[in-house]
C-alpha cells in the first residue's frame, strides 16, 4: 500500500524508516450524526466530497458551518510520519461506502517528472474530468476495516485513519484538547466524544476534567458557570435591549429603568444575568439582517477566578477572551442566530481563535463597519453598566461620623509643626498597555491613546528576561526571530512589520488598537518595551 510513496518521500527529504517496522500506531477518528462526504466523486462541484479531497486552502463552507479556511484537514496528514491518511465515508442513498487516501507533501520532482504536493490512493481515473475515484470494492473496504478497526458500516459520516502516528500525539493530549476546545458544546449536550475508552459527555465531563484540572493555556474553565449559560440558552431571555449598540457601545438608554434596576440587582446578588443584545448586519449582496447576541455575567464567589467565554455557535473563540481581561467576574458572549454566526465565521482567523475586523471574507460579503468591535467589547461594557453599584470596601468612608480621640496624644510638650499638605499629582494617562498572556503578550490601547493623532507608529522590542544584564542585548536569534515567522503576530486596527529579529514596528490606525504576539516559550519570562514614535 505504501511502497509507491517511498520515492516521493525521498524526493521531499522525509524519512520513511517507520514503513519498515512490523507495527504502527494508528489514529482513527470517526464522526456520527453527520451526512458524510456528499456530492459527486467524478466532478468538481461545490459539495463536501470535492471540498474535502480536492480543495486546499479554500473552503466551501459558509453560513453557520464551523470551518471556513479549508485548512483543518491538514491536521490529519501532519499527524502522520509519512504525511498520509485515509478516509472512509458513507452517504445516505449510496449502495456502499467510499474509501480514498491522500498524502500531503510538497511540490517535488522525481527524475524529469514534476509532481504536485497532494498525492492520492484511489482506484481509477474518471472519464469526464480525469479525477481520482474512490475505492468501492467491498473486499478491499472490509480489509481496510479489519486493519484499522474502523467501525463504520453504512451509518452516514466520515471515518479517518492516520497511519504511522507521530509519537507526541497521545490519548492524554487528545483528551486535554477536547476539554479545552469543546467544553461548551459538550456541556450543552450537543457533542459527545470518545477518546479510547474515555467517554466525554455532559454527564462525565466533570469527572474527566478533574483529572485534567487545567487546560494547556492555564485558564481554569468555570464549569458550573458554563452549564448555567448552556441551560439558560434553552429559554427565552428576560431582558432584551431596545436597540443595537451605537458608536458609544452599550449605554443605559438602551434599557428601561426597571431593566437597569433588575440587571444591577441580579448581578449584585450573585445570580446569572442574561441580556440579549440586538445586532444589525448588512450583506453586500442583500438587505439588512436583524440578529442578536446573548451576554451573560455572574459575580465572583469567594476565591473564584475570572473567566470569559466567547462562542460562535458551538465553536469557542479563546483569543477574544482578552477583551474581558481585568474584569473581576464571569462572562460569556454567545452568538447562536444563523446570520451572526455566519458573519463572525467570515471574520475568524484560520485557527478559529480570533475575529479579524478587516478579514477579506468579511469585507467581501458584509457592509457592517464596526460591528466586530462592538461585539467583542459588549461584555466588558455591560459589566461596566451593571457593576457600578456593587459595594466597595472603604475603611475611611465613615471616619467623620465615628471617631475616637487617641488618648496617647497630649497637649503638653513643644508644639509640633504642621505637616506640609500633600499635593495630589494626577498621573498621566497611559496610551499603551502591555498585558502578558500564556506564551505571548497583548499590547492594547490605553486611555491616553484617545488623544493621539492617527496613524501613529509604535516601536516594540521583545526579549526573554535574563538574570543579569540587558535582556535586549542578550537576545539571540535562536531564542526567536520575528522576521522568520517564528511568532504569530495578530493585529486589530493596526499594521505590523518586523524590523529585525526582536523589534516590531506597529502602525496603529485608531484608539482601539491591539497588537498580539503568541508562540513564545511558556517557560521563560518576556520583557517588552513599547514606545510611541
Predicted pLDDT of residue 149: 96
β-pair partners for 282: 288
Q: Which strand ranges, in their side-by-side order, compose the sheet holding 488-492?
A: 432-437, 440-445, 514-518, 488-492
Cβ atoms 305, 218 nearer than 8 A: no
Say if residue 394's pLDDT is above 90.
no
C-alpha distances out from residue 156 to 48, 124, 199, 285, Å: 13, 24, 21, 34
Say if residue 141's pLDDT is above 90.
yes
- pLDDT tier for residue 436 given thresholds of 50, 70 and 90: confident
Cβ atoms 70, 51 nearer than 8 A: yes
| Higher per-residue pLDDT: 287 or 14 | 14
Predicted pLDDT of residue 204: 94
| Higher per-residue pLDDT: 368 or 20 | 20
Angle at alpha carbon of residue 525, lines to 356 and 456, rounded to 5°: 40
| Higher per-residue pLDDT: 293 or 448 | 293
Say if residue 70's pLDDT is above 90.
no
Say if residue 58's pLDDT is above 80.
no
DSSP-derived secondary structure for 349-400: -TTSS-B-TT-HHHHHHB--TTHHHHHHHHHHHHHHHHGGGS----TTTTTT
Say if residue 434's pLDDT is above 70.
yes
**Tens digits of residue pLDDT in 288-335:** 999 999 999 999 988 889 999 999 998 999 989 989 988 999 999 999
Say if residue 49's pLDDT is above 90.
yes
Predicted pLDDT of residue 412: 56
C-alpha distances out from residue 4 to 54, 136, 200, 298, 354, Å: 20, 21, 39, 59, 41
Look up residue 123 and give its DSSP letter: S
Say if residue 61's pLDDT is above 50.
no
Lowest mean pLDDT among 81-90, 282-291, 326-335, 408-417: 408-417
Look up residue 80 and give its DSSP letter: B
| Per-chain mean pLDDT for the chain | 88
Cβ atoms 333, 319 nearer than 8 A: no
Place of cell 479563546: 318
Q: Report the distance separating Cα 488 and Cα 498, nearest Å.
A: 11
Predicted pLDDT of residue 63: 46
Domain ranges in the chain? 4-168, 174-212, 223-387, 432-532
Percent with pLDDT over 90 in the chain: 62
Say if residue 426's pLDDT is above 70.
no
Predicted pLDDT of residue 69: 44
Q: What CATH topology corresponds to 432-532?
A: Immunoglobulin-like (2.60.40)
**Tens digits of residue pLDDT in 502-531:** 999 999 999 889 999 988 887 788 999 999
pTM here?
Answer: 0.65
- Hey, what long-range contacts does 235-239 have (CB within 8 A, 24 or more apart)? 237/274, 237/275, 237/276, 237/294, 238/262, 238/274, 239/263, 239/273, 239/274, 239/275, 239/276
Look up residue 223 and give its DSSP letter: H
**Tens digits of residue pLDDT in 454-511:** 999 999 999 998 877 788 988 888 888 898 877 889 898 999 999 999 999 999 999 8
Predicted pLDDT of residue 408: 55
Cβ atoms 503, 473 nearer than 8 A: no
Lowest mean pLDDT among 56-70, 205-219, 250-264, 370-384: 56-70
Say if residue 232's pLDDT is above 70.
yes
Percent with pLDDT over 70 in the chain: 88
Mean pLDDT of 42-48: 91
Amino acid at each position: 500500500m505504501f511502497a509507491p510513496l517511498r520515492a516521493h518521500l525521498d524526493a521531499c527529504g522525509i524519512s520513511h524508516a517507520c514503513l519498515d517496522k512490523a507495527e504502527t500506531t494508528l489514529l482513527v477518528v470517526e464522526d456520527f450524526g453527520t451526512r458524510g462526504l456528499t456530492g459527486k466523486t467524478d466532478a468538481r462541484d461545490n459539495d463536501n466530497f470535492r471540498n474535502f479531497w480536492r480543495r486546499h486552502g479554500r473552503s466551501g463552507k459558509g453560513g453557520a458551518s464551523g470551518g471556513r479556511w479549508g485548512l483543518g484537514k491538514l491536521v490529519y496528514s501532519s499527524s502522520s510520519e509519512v504525511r498520509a491518511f485515509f478516509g472512509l465515508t458513507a452517504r445516505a442513498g449510496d449502495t456502499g461506502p467510499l474509501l480514498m487516501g491522500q498524502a500531503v507533501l510538497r511540490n517535488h520532482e522525481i527524475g524529469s517528472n514534476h509532481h504536485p504536493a497532494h498525492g492520492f490512493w484511489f482506484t481509477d481515473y474518471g472519464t469526464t474530468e480525469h479525477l481520482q475515484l474512490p475505492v468501492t470494492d467491498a473486499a478491499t473496504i472490509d480489509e481496510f476495516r479489519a486493519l484499522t478497526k474502523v467501525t463504520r458500516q453504512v451509518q452516514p459520516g466520515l471515518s479517518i485513519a492516520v497511519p504511522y502516528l507521530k509519537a507526541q500525539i497521545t490519548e492524554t493530549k487528545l483528551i486535554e484538547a477536547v476539554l479545552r476546545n469543546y467544553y461548551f458544546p459538550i456541556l450543552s449536550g450537543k457533542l459527545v466524544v470518545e477518546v479510547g475508552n474515555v467517554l466525554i459527555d455532559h454527564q462525565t465531563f466533570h469527572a474527566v476534567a478533574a483529572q485534567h484540572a487545567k487546560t494547556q493555556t492555564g485558564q481554569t474553565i468555570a464549569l458550573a458557570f458554563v452549564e448555567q449559560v448552556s441551560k439558560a440558552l434553552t429559554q427565552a431571555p428576560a431582558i432584551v435591549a431596545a436597540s443595537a449598540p451605537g458608536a458609544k457601545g452599550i449605554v443605559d438608554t438602551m434599557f428601561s429603568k426597571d431593566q437597569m434596576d433588575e440587571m444591577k440587582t441580579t448581578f449584585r446578588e450573585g445570580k446569572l444575568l442574561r441580556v440579549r443584545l440586538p445586532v444589525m448586519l448588512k450583506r453586500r449582496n442583500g438587505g439588512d439582517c436583524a440578529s442578536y447576541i446573548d451576554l451573560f455575567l455572574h459575580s465572583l464567589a469567594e476565591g473564584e477566578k475570572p473567566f470569559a467565554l466567547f462562542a460562535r455557535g458551538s465553536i469557542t473563540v479563546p483569543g477574544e477572551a482578552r477583551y474581558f481581561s481585568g474584569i473581576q467576574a464571569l462572562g460569556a458572549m454567545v452568538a447562536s442566530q444563523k446570520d451572526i454566526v455566519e458573519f463572525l465565521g467570515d471574520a475568524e482567523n484560520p485557527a478559529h481563535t480570533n475575529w479579524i475586523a478587516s478579514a477579506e471574507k468579511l469585507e467581501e460579503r458584509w457592509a457592517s463597519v464596526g460591528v466586530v468591535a462592538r461585539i467583542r467589547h459588549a461584555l466588558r461594557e455591560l459589566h461596566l453598566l451593571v457593576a457600578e453599584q456593587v459595594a466597595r470596601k472603604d475603611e475611611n468612608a465613615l471616619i467623620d461620623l465615628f471617631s475616637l480621640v487617641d488618648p496617647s496624644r497630649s497637649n503638653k510638650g513643644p508644639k509640633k509643626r504642621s505637616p506640609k499638605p500633600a499635593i495630589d499629582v494626577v498621573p498621566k494617562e497611559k496610551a499603551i498597555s502591555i498585558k502578558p498572556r500564556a506564551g505571548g503578550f497583548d499590547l492594547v490601547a490605553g486611555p491616553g491613546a484617545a488623544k493621539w493623532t492617527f496613524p501613529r507608529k509604535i516601536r516594540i522590542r521583545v526579549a526573554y528576561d535574563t538574570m543579569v544584564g540587558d535582556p535586549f542585548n542578550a537576545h539571540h536569534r535562536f531564542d526567536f526571530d520575528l522576521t522568520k515567522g517564528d511568532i504569530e503576530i495578530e493585529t486589530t486596527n493596526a499594521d505590523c512589520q518586523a524590523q529585525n529579529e526582536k523589534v516590531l514596528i506597529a502602525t496603529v490606525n485608531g484608539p482601539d488598537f491591539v497588537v498580539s504576539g503568541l508562540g513564545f516559550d511558556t517557560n521563560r519570562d518576556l520583557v517588552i518595551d513599547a514606545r510611541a514614535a
